[in-house]
């Protein structure tokens, strides 16, 4: 269903309406199939017998006998498969808990159901008798593809249409039976599965109606899911656990059910008083020592100034190029007008002391290794990562607004009386 049809259906049938500034708003969402640009994909591995984990995977029946070069692929919720196999007596406790007890794995048994659920997606691919590359999804989860519709790959080994495939989720002690729209693409190393799920609904907050859309980044709904609130006047894009301003109220996007069909918002009248890594919010405060031995209290030491907090490291070509060209060009003229830079390098102090003279950095630098304290505090997931604060100490711009020439444009706006320095040619990120 395209967006215009969706909006028409919302006008005819309100999925959910919240009137007044409710403290908790629950938005019911319906799921649709829609391919999107720049989608990430899940990965389905080709099944090979002979592993100690064979018990996790079912025997797939109904594979066409006249197909050649047939391969069975599974994309699984591995922790769930592991845990339920142990509870079914198919796997010994020692092997199961070896995974869950691993400090690097990041999963625990509380997120898994002891009762068996459909925690994998099955695809069979091969060459038909007429030489076409085809595939079958196990859409009903019965481990039998004899009753499934045959689909064909295009010449570039991609599929153009999505197929609804049954999948179960376990969340907060409840098993959710659902389906997800998948579109495969064959690669030499396995099968990519694009999730074409888009969940849409409608909510009315403080008398204003918003269309709501949730788009998973990978093949499932998680904290990286894009949440979009849209009406005639505005479009707001954010993620789970971020704040969204609806009317004059701030709501925390608290949770999205694992099947993508229920979104919960929690009103927070004091939102702007909490540190949060979004525009308009206060940054996380910290105290650290710079390489020259000074103690910096951020952001308090920079009140009254625009300040750029820059996360980078020596082995990042983009970071170093940004420093040598953009920062070196902008810092001197704008620093004279009150602009500041505080760099957090994800490097050891001894390495920085050797390299910084070559970079001619004259602003304060903090070495964040070996404990990565500030990187973790600011949840840095890309390098460089940047936060620009205004003189009141609030975030006014993030990395996507600040890389390369974008920072120069921002500073020209903030300091209109400073002569514009000639900028070098720098590729945008």
Shared-domain flag, residues 208 and 182: no
> Which structural domain, as residue segments, surrounds residue 385?
286-414
Task: Give me the number of domains the chain comprises.
Answer: 3
Shared-domain flag, residues 29 and 51: no
Q: Quick one: how far is CA 161 from the chain centroid?
A: 24
Shared-domain flag, residues 150 and 45: yes
Q: Are 390 and 282 in contact (CB under 8 A)?
A: no
**Section 341-352 average pLDDT:** 95
Per-residue pLDDT band for 299 (boundaries 50, 70, 90) equals: very high
Judged against a pLDDT cut of 50, whether residue 18 lies above it is answered with no
Classify the C-alpha dihedral 107-110-111-112 as positive or negative: positive
Q: Is the peptide bond between 299 and the residue preceding it cis, with omega within 30 degrees of 0?
A: yes
Judged against a pLDDT cut of 60, whether residue 6 lies above it is answered with no
Shared-domain flag, residues 167 and 210: no
Of the three residues 162, 195, 228, the one that is the final residue of a domain is: 195
Helix (H) or strand (E) holding 307: strand 307-312
Can you give the length of the chain in residues?
Answer: 429
**Section 9-26 average pLDDT:** 57
Q: Does 422 reside within a domain?
A: no
Q: Are 74 and 44 in contact (CB under 8 A)?
A: yes
Of the three residues 195, 212, 230, the one that is the final residue of a domain is: 195
In this prediction, residue 419 carries a pLDDT of 87
Of the three residues 220, 247, 273, the one that is the final residue of a domain is: 273
Shared-domain flag, residues 360 and 404: yes
Question: What is the chain's alpha carbon radius of gyration, rounded to the nearest angstrom?
Answer: 26
**Which is higher by pLDDT, 301 or 404?**
301
Shared-domain flag, residues 29 and 113: no
Give CA–CA dist 91/321, Å, rounded: 52
Q: Are 347 and 361 in contact (CB under 8 A)?
A: no
Judged against a pLDDT cut of 90, whether residue 217 lies above it is answered with no
CA atoms within a 13 Å half-sphere pointing along the CA-CB vector of 170: 20
330 by Cβ neighbours in 10 Å (0-12 / 13-18 / 19+) ranks as buried
Mean pLDDT of all residues in the chain?
A: 89
**Section 53-69 average pLDDT:** 95
Shared-domain flag, residues 201 and 191: no
């Amino acid at each position: 269903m395209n967006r215009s049809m969706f909006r028409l259906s919302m006008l005819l049938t309100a999925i959910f309406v919240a009137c007044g500034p409710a403290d908790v708003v629950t938005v019911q969402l319906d799921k649709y199939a829609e391919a999107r640009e720049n989608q990430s994909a899940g990965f389905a591995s080709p099944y090979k017998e002979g592993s100690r984990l064979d018990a996790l995977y079912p025997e797939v029946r109904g594979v066409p006998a006249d197909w050649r070069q047939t391969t069975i692929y599974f994309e699984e919720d591995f922790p769930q498969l592991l845990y339920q196999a142990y509870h079914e007596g198919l796997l010994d406790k020692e092997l199961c808990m070896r995974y869950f007890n691993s400090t690097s794995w990041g999963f625990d048994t509380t997120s898994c159901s002891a009762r068996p659920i459909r925690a994998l997606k099955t695809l069979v691919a091969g060459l038909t008798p007429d030489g076409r590359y085809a595939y079958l999804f196990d859409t009903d989860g019965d481990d039998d593809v004899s009753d499934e519709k045959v689909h064909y790959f295009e010449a570039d080994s991609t599929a153009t249409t999505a197929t609804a495939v049954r999948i179960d989720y376990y969340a907060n002690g409840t098993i959710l039976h659902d389906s997800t729209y998948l579109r495969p693409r064959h690669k030499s190393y396995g099968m990519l599965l694009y999730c074409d799920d888009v969940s849409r609904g409608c909510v009315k907050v403080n008398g204003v109606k918003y269309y709501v859309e949730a788009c998973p980044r990978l093949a499932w709904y998680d904290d990286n899911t894009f949440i979009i609130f849209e009406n005639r006047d505005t479009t707001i894009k954010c993620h789970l656990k971020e704040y969204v301003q609806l009317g004059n109220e701030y709501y925390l996007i608290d949770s999205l059910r694992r099947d993508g069909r229920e979104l919960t918002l929690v009103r927070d009248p004091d939102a702007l008083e909490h540190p949060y890594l979004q525009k308009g919010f206060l940054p996380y405060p910290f105290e650290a020592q710079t390489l020259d031995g000074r103690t910096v209290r951020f952001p308090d030491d920079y009140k009254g100034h625009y300040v750029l907090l820059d996360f980078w490291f020596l082995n990042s070509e983009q970071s170093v190029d940004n420093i040598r060209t953009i920062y070196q060009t902008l810092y001197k003229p704008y620093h004279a007008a009150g602009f500041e830079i505080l760099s957090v390098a994800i490097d050891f102090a001894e390495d920085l002391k050797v390299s910084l003279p070559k970079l001619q950095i004259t602003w304060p630098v903090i070495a964040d290794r070996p404990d990565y304290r500030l990187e973790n505090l600011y949840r840095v997931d890309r390098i460089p990562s940047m936060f620009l604060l205004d003189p009141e100490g609030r975030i006014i711009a993030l990395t996507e607004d600040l890389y390369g020439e974008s920072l120069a444009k921002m500073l020209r706006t903030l300091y209109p009386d400073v002569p514009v320095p000639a900028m070098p040619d720098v590729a945008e990120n």
